[in-house]
Amino acid sequence: MTTDAKAGAAPDPLAPFSAPVRRWFEASFEGPTPAQAGGWEAISGGDNALICAPTGSGKTLASFLWGIDRLSRMAERGQGVRLVYVSPLKALSYDIERNLRAPLRGIGADISVGLRTGDTSQAERRAMRKTPPDILITTPESLYLMLSSGVREILATTEAVIVDEIHAVAQSKRGSHLALSLERLEHLVKDHAQRPAGPVAAGDPPPLPVAKASSGAVPPTAPPAGDAPRLQRIGLSATQRPLERIARFLVGPKRECKIVDAGVAKELDLEIVVPVEDMAEPGAPAFPSEDGVPADGEPLAHVRSIWPAIYPELLKLVREHTSTIVFVNNRRAAERLAKRLNELHADEPPQELPATEHAGNPPLPGGGAVGGTAPEDALATAGGGGSPAATGPAGPTPLTVNSAPVIPRTPNPLQA
């Protein structure tokens, strides 16, 4: 079942909320987004919901606000966890815990929030078991560990569970593990609701479903299947396709899920730019000899580079836009590109690079050496104070080309 949030939004999305929540939201935001309007319509009706919306559309607040409103109306809190938020990203869990403080403070509700991850100390875990929070923020692995220990009793009162970034786990073994944990949580909630009133001693058998004919007492029976409490599941993600399969993964078999599709189709401004007139002759030889002719046997002698024509075009785009992302094949190319763009931006002449980097440079006057000196002349010992390329007791000496030191490049261990 799919809901188009843009076409089928309710006239007043804030109608189901209490007055304090409405006042805070209206004072903090201009109005509900399509994701919030469609999400609240499904969540407030008690349905399982999958909200698909781009980043920044407020879908996380849409999933939390109804639960916060319900908790604020409860006369008694602190008896157990009511709302569970599961994030596959531990860093995101810390952000959510911090961002929840603003609505709770604005609404004025005394609602406790607990965080349980692998970094939670033993003292904090014991305190959580003794005084359970109203809202629990955790990860799939920590949820599994809680369900497998004695602390699972604080989860028996859970009314809703929010699974954020569901696309990150849907196709992996981690997602299968999370689906099993959600079913265990569902069973725990139903089992807790079907327990008879009053204290139950450890080891007592469950109540009989039907009283014996000879007995006048009628044992407590489980409520009908339609009246049994159900764990409401809410899934959130910005990049999830296909929505129907993600919804089935979220709720499991034989359950319904409303899909709130508030996604926006982005308009692409795509342009193919060729910085040279002829791709067959993009530039000069990569390794020219003294006469400007590729030397026989030189590695990559006949390779011609298009990069000298690309650098100015990239710099033009960088200057015309606020943010620019350039994708390259490796770190070495990224460093070289950044160096060339900085030189062009500062109107500085390109500096000499090792021979392995010459493929991206235009041919320099004088046979490729800085200042017009031929490479073989620069390597020779000059009587006027030039430094020879020699290896002595102190190790290799940096070459000097027209008083400009050329430091030999050392291999980067990260590229090994």
- Span 39-65, pLDDT tens digits: 999 999 899 999 998 888 888 899 999
Of 236-250, 301-315, 361-375, the least confident: 361-375
Assess contact for 243 and 50: CB atoms under 8 A: yes
* CA dihedral angle for residue 137, residue 140, residue 141, residue 143, rounded to 10 degrees: 60
Q: What is the model's pLDDT at position 196? A: 66
Q: What is the model's pLDDT at position 353? A: 52
The SS3 call for residue 236 is strand
Q: What is the model's pLDDT at position 133? A: 93
Two tokens, residue 66: 């109804």
Q: Looking at the predicted structure, is the pLDDT value of residue 369 above 50?
A: no
pLDDT in tens, 168-226: 898 899 999 999 999 999 999 998 888 765 444 444 444 434 333 333 444 443 444 44
Task: Assign 399 a pLDDT band (cuts: 50, 70, 90).
Answer: very low
pLDDT in tens, 296-355: 544 444 456 788 888 899 999 999 999 999 999 999 989 999 999 998 888 755 555 555
Assess contact for 162 and 84: CB atoms under 8 A: yes
Q: Which residues pair with 237 in a beta bridge?
A: 52
Task: Assign 407 a pLDDT band (cuts: 50, 70, 90).
Answer: very low
Q: What is the model's pLDDT at position 257? A: 94
Task: Assign 293 a pLDDT band (cuts: 50, 70, 90).
Answer: low
Q: What is the model's pLDDT at position 228? A: 59
The residue type at 256: E
8-state DSSP, 154: G
User: What is the Cα–Cα distance from 158 to 132, expressed in whole angstroms?
Assistant: 11
Helix 34-44 with 59-73: angle, nearest 10 deg: 40
How would you classify the pairing of strands 135-138 and 160-163? Answer: unpaired
Q: Which residue has the higher pLDDT, 378 or 145?
A: 145
* CA dihedral angle for residue 252, residue 155, residue 234, residue 236, rounded to 10 degrees: -110
Q: What is the model's pLDDT at position 102? A: 84
- First CA to last CA distance, the chain: 52
Q: What is the pTM of this model?
A: 0.61
Q: Which residues pair with 2 in a beta bridge?
A: 259
How many C-beta atoms surround the C-beta of residue 178 within 10 A? 24
8-state DSSP, 14: T
Q: Average pLDDT for residues 98-110, to the nearest whole number?
A: 84
- Of 87, 38, 53, 46, the closest CA to residue 67 belongs to 46
8-state DSSP, 42: H
How many C-beta atoms surround the C-beta of residue 172 within 10 A? 11
pLDDT in tens, 16-40: 899 999 999 999 999 899 999 999 9
Please write down the HEC assignment for all residues of 249-298: HHHCCCCCCEEEECCCCCCCCCCCCCCCCCCCCCCCECCECCCCCECCCC
Q: Looking at the predicted structure, is the pLDDT value of residue 142 above 60?
A: yes
Residues in the chain: 416
Task: Assign 275 a pLDDT band (cuts: 50, 70, 90).
Answer: confident
User: What is the Cα–Cα distance from 56 to 408, expressed in whole angstroms?
Assistant: 48
List of domains in the chain: 2-194+229-261 (3.40.50.300), 271-374 (no CATH)
Helix (H) or strand (E) holding 2: strand 2-4
Q: Which residue has the higher pLDDT, 149 or 278?
A: 149
Highest mean pLDDT among 126-140, 218-232, 262-276: 126-140
Q: What is the model's pLDDT at position 204? A: 44
Contacts 24+ apart (CB under 8 A), 354-360: 354/408, 354/409, 355/287, 356/409, 357/409, 358/286, 358/287, 359/286, 359/300, 359/303, 359/305, 359/307, 360/305, 360/307, 360/308, 360/336
Share of the chain above pLDDT 70, in %: 67
Of 80-94, 214-228, 239-253, the least confident: 214-228
The torsion angles phi and psi of 62, rounded to 5 degrees, stand at: -60, -40
Q: What is the model's pLDDT at position 114? A: 92
